């Protein structure tokens, strides 16, 4: 076996992309020239409309997979709809170039029915110098007597014109009962396998339980070969290469019982970013003369001729999981937390995605093997949190690791908790405006900091100088359980300059009261009022994601503006009348100087109330001008729910849609951002 640390010998196949470019120009590694395109017949291909296996020689009424293949012109692309196609008439011979395009390997399944398809090719037998492509299919339960439990591809002429391409396919549970190549046999010609899984196939009494390559040029990329079994007495296990030229790029060959994971005789083999590991009888067996080129690959028993000088990891435990659905079209073997294969690949030769379609690299370098370990995904609910001095600040969000690794969360300040249901919660007892800062939440797994993710949000603690509290009382009318109290506040702002856009913000707001022996502390949505010279009409909207109101008014408007509102569903048993005090508090900030804010609040009761605040139809300002609701209602009126107003809280029903206002309180907003 040639020393893999030296430049490759002459004789490597050179195509549009070559197995190994001259002088180890590894960026060109890989790979074979694609077969020449076949000009398709202008007639439309047959339309498969039944999963029943039949050979009618006609597709005018029902059209089976078998008949569609037989009746297709060279170069046709046959769409194979989702379904389970059980072959009851033996294997299918393909004699013309074509493409079979399934709806996905998890949904389009071609089943050999565990019945022998003959000597070769338990499901598909390809015996002419043609180009065949299989996309998005599963081939299962094929049986052949001699070779190719699922597929036998044989270039009869040895002209090099035969090519088989397999993309995003699963080839599983196929077998050969008296020979080799339980999954796929490629005899001469070209073979391309991409983003596919070959698993749990078997061969007896010889090896090649997953794949036999004899005299062929092959490229296998982003694919998983696992669980394929050969007899314990056969030294040639899952992949058997005889007089072939094969490039493996970002593949995982693992846990194949009986024989070696990869065996090669009289062949040229390139291993790039591959994990060949944990095969019970050994990872590799190369019988001279075999020329190898290796680059950033890994084996677990130091049998694959790897070289540390090439960035390889020989004799290393890769910490691999088991075959499972980790997303994507086919099952894969994930890297476990802390795997040395993470970030150990060669970026120059990584495919742009892994077998599942996940972007490579996720970290500073791509991973070795078919499955790229993913960054932790974390989001935050609120990009900013504002509280009053002494209040507890809270925030939350979502967190997820696609590989299922345990997630650890840390916060730059405060306490963060992983709730275990894909969400997180953060809190901080805010006692001092000096705690205003940017808070960062970091999510890591045992994959280490390279795959960690973080989110940040701004925390503002308002000082007493820009906060205000207004206490009033409810009237004597009891409020029935199931009704809704509409708390609403309005504001009049003095000092707005008509030609400049100005904003007044209201945050950290709560409504507190005690009724029937129960203390209520209700968080009120934040709010922003935008005084805009460009606005010709007032409007109010609610953003559920940030839980905040935005009211936009013409900069010239000087009357009352809706500030914020909260719909409180009264609990069963209701509330007694006469609750006192009811205190609404909050903090004001503004990006405009020298403003004076005068605000007051009210509360009315409704027997029905929309749960979607944007469906309520909140009136943004008083009066009928510059207003989407040209009537005499107060700002804050829920226009779409007016028919359901009733007595209680601070309203008497009838036409009192907001309730009576509390006393007026004046406050000077703090500047935004707050001075340090």
**What's the pLDDT tens digit per position in 337-363?**
889 999 999 999 999 999 999 999 998
* pLDDT (average), residues 278-288: 93
Identify whether residues 501 and 437 lie together within a single domain. Answer: no
Buried b (16+ CB within 10 A) or exposed e, 117-135: bbbbbbbbbbbbbbbbbbb
Over range 369-389, report the average pLDDT: 90
Confidence of residue 29 (pLDDT cuts 50, 70, 90): very low
Is there a single domain that holds both residue 565 and residue 452?
A: no
Report the pLDDT value the prediction gives residue 587, as an integer from 0 to 100: 95
With respect to residue 448, please indicate whether it lies within any of the assigned structural domains: yes
Q: Into how many domains does the chain fold?
A: 3
pTM for this structure? 0.69
Residues 504 and 534 in one domain: yes
End of a domain among 462, 491, 516?
A: 462
| Residue 39, pLDDT score | 53
Q: What percent of the chain has pLDDT over 90?
A: 78
- What are the strands, taking DSSP E only, across 266-375? 268-272, 275-277, 284-287, 291-295, 298-299, 320-324, 332-335
More confident of the two residues 129 and 404: 129
If asked whether residues 528 and 635 sit together in one domain, one would say yes
Give per-residue pLDDT as tens, 538-578.
Answer: 999 999 988 999 999 999 999 999 999 999 999 999 999 99
Mean pLDDT over 514-534 rounds to 96
Phi, psi of 116 (to 5 degrees): -60, 130
Q: Does residue 105 share a domain with residue 26? A: yes
Model confidence at 16, pLDDT cuts 50, 70, 90, reads very low
Residue 255, both tokens? 């846990």
Q: What is the pLDDT of residue 14?
A: 31
pLDDT at 31 over 60: no
- What's residue 478's pLDDT? 97
- Structural domain includes residue 372: no
Rounded CA separation 202/173 (Å): 7
- The reported pLDDT for the residue numbered 42 is 58
Question: Domain check: are 522 and 447 in the same one?
Answer: no
Residue 355 is assigned to a structural domain of this protein = no
Residue 412 · residue 420 · CB < 8 Å:
no
Residues 494 and 619 in one domain: yes
Consecutive H or E run containing 70? helix 65-71
Pairing of β 332-335 and β 320-324: antiparallel
**What is the predicted pLDDT for the residue at 401?**
82
Residue 444: give its domain's CATH number: 2.60.40.10
Whether residue 514 is found in the same domain as residue 546: yes
Is the pLDDT reported for residue 648 higher than 80?
yes
Counting residues of the chain whose pLDDT is more than 70, the rounded percentage is 92
Is residue 143 within 8 A of residue 121, CB to CB? The reply is: no
329 found inside a domain: no
Domain match, 125 and 206 both: yes
Q: Name the residue among 291, 224, 276 with its Cα closest to residue 1.
A: 291
Q: How confident is the model at residue 12 (pLDDT cuts 50, 70, 90)?
A: very low
Q: Let me know whether 424 and 480 are in one domain.
A: no
**456 and 543 part of one domain:** no
H/E stretch holding 68 reads: helix 65-71
Residue 17 has pLDDT above 50, yes or no: no
Q: What is the pLDDT of residue 6?
A: 32
Q: Are 564 and 489 in contact (CB under 8 A)?
A: yes
Tell me what the mean pLDDT of segment 459-478 comes to: 94
Boundary-marking domain end, from 462, 483, 518:
462
Enclosing domain of residue 610: 465-671
How many CB atoms lie under 10 A from the CB of residue 456?
Answer: 13
Residue 235 has pLDDT above 90, yes or no: no
Q: Looking at residue 105, which CATH number applies to its domain? A: 2.160.20.10
Rounded to the nearest integer, the mean pLDDT of the chain is 90
Give yes or no: residues 471 and 454 share one domain: no
Q: pLDDT value at position 447?
A: 72
In a domain, 367, yes or no: no
* 348 within domain boundaries: no
For residue 370, being part of any structural domain is answered with: no
Give yes or no for residue 489 having a pLDDT over 60.
yes
User: Domain boundary at 462, 478, 512, which?
Assistant: 462
37-50 pLDDT, tens digit per residue, is: 555 555 789 999 99
d(CA 638, CA 652): 16
Indicate whether 2 pLDDT > 70.
no
Residue 278 lies in a domain: yes
């Amino acid at each position: 076996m040639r020393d893999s640390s030296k430049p490759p010998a002459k004789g490597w196949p050179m195509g549009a992309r070559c197995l190994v470019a001259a002088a180890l120009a590894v960026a060109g590694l890989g790979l074979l020239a694609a077969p020449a395109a076949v000009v398709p017949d202008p007639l439309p291909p047959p339309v498969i409309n039944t999963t029943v296996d039949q050979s009618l020689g006609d597709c005018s009424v029902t059209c089976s997979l078998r008949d569609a293949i037989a009746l297709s012109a060279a170069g046709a692309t046959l769409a194979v709809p989702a379904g389970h196609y059980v072959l009851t008439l033996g294997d299918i011979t393909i004699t013309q170039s074509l493409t079979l395009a399934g709806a996905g390997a998890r949904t389009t399944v071609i089943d050999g029915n565990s019945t022998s398809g003959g000597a070769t090719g338990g499901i598909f037998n390809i015996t002419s110098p043609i180009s065949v492509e299989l996309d998005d299919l599963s081939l299962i339960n094929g049986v052949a007597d001699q070779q190719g439990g699922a597929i036998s591809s044989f270039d009869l002429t040895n002209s090099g014109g035969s090519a088989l391409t397999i993309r995003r396919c699963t080839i599983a549970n196929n077998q050969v009962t008296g020979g080799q190549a339980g999954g796929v046999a490629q005899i001469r010609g070209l073979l391309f396998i991409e983003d596919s899984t070959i698993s749990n196939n078997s061969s007896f009494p010889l090896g090649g339980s997953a794949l036999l390559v004899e005299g062929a040029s092959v490229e296998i990329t982003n694919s998983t070969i696992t669980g394929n079994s050969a007899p314990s007495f056969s030294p040639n296990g899952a992949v058997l290469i005889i007089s072939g030229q094969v490039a493996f790029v970002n593949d995982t060959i693992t846990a194949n019982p009986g024989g070696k994971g990869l065996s090669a005789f009289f062949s040229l083999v390139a291993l790039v970013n591959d994990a060949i590991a944990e095969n019970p009888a050994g990872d590799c067996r190369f019988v001279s003369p075999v020329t190898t080129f290796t680059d950033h690959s890994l084996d677990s028993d130091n049998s694959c001729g790897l070289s540390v000088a090439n960035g390889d990891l020989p004799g290393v435990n890769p910490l691999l999981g088991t075959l499972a659905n980790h997303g994507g079209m086919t099952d894969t073997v994930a890297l476990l937390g802390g795997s040395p294969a993470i970030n150990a690949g060669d970026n120059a030769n990584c495919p742009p995605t892994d077998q599942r379609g996940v972007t490579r690299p996720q970290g500073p370098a791509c991973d070795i093997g078919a499955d790229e370990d993913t960054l932790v995904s974390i989001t935050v609910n609120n990009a900013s949190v504002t509280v009053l001095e002494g209040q507890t600040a809270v925030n939350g969000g979502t967190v997820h690791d696609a590989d299922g690794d345990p997630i650890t969360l840390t916060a730059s300040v405060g306490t963060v908790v992983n709730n275990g249901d894909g969400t997180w919660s953060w809190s901080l007892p805010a006692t001092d405006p000096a705690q205003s800062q940017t808070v960062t939440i970091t999510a890591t797994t045992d994959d280490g900091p390279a795959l960690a993710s973080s989110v940040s949000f701004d925390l503002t603690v308002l000082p007493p100088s820009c906060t205000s509290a207004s206490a009033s009382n409810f009237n004597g009318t009891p409020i029935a359980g199931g009704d809704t109290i509409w708390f609403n506040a309005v504001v009049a702002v003095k000092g707005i300059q008509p030609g400049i856009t100005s904003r007044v913000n209201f945050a950290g707001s709560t409504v507190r009261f005690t009724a029937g022996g129960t203390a209520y502390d209700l968080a009120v949505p934040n709010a922003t009022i935008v005084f805009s010279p460009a606005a010709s009409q007032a409007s109010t909207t609610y953003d559920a994601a940030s839980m905040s109101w935005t009211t936009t008014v013409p900069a010239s408007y000087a009357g009352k503006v809706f500030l914020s509102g909260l719909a409180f569903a009264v609990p069963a048993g209701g509330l007694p009348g006469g609750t006192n005090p009811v205190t609404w508090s909050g903090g004001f900030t503004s990006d405009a100087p020298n403003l004076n804010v005068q605000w007051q609040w009210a509360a009315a009761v409704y027997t029905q109330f929309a749960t979607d605040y944007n469906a309520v139809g909140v009136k943004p300002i008083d009066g009928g001008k510059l207003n989407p609701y040209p009537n005499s209602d107060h700002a804050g009126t829920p226009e779409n729910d007016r028919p359901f107003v009733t007595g209680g809280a601070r309203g008497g029903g009838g036409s009192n849609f907001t309730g009576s206002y509390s006393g007026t309180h004046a406050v000077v907003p703090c500047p935004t951002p707050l001075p340090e």
